[in-house]
Amino acid sequence: MTFNNKAILLAVFSLSIATLTHAQSGENTYKQVCASCHGAGVLNAPKFGDKAKWAPLIAEGQVTLTAHAYFGVRGMPPKGGNPNLSVEGFADALVYMVNNSGGKWTSPDAKTVAAINKEVEARKAGSNKK
């Protein structure tokens, strides 16, 4: 095996581990933070796996839905009620829920996280206007 082949295999392996890590952290965050409402449909929260309820939310797009939910929307508190939850952690939990409810999202890269943060800031600015 040449050096280039080893480098390619290492890169693919690293990417696979990173993807798996994000998926696992998304699932763990869902179980620890989100399941109490999204498991039972508390306050009309879309239930985990309910494709019909999730479809219009998924259609909003990953940046918009993640930012609005992270900020707090309808009966959902900001950050799902966990004030220490990062945008990245929240986004991975949402990816986990979406992908188990009819969507096909990926863990957000740096560009997507920046777009989510920008949308969160726009929501904050809009909520400060009276």
Give the number of domains in the chain: 1
Q: Which domain holds residue 62?
A: 3-128
Q: Identify the CATH number of the domain in which residue 9 sits.
A: 1.10.760.10
Q: Which tokens belong to 113? A: 């996280």
**Mean pLDDT lowest among 40-44, 90-94, 113-117:** 40-44
- pLDDT of 12 > 60? The answer is no
| Residue 80 pLDDT class (50, 70, 90 cuts) | very high
Cα–Cα distance measured from residue 113 to residue 66, given in angstroms and rounded to the nearest whole number: 9
Model pLDDT, residue 41: 94
Report the chain's mean pLDDT, rounded to a whole number. Answer: 86
- pLDDT of 9 > 50? The answer is no
Cα–Cα distance measured from residue 108 to residue 86, given in angstroms and rounded to the nearest whole number: 13
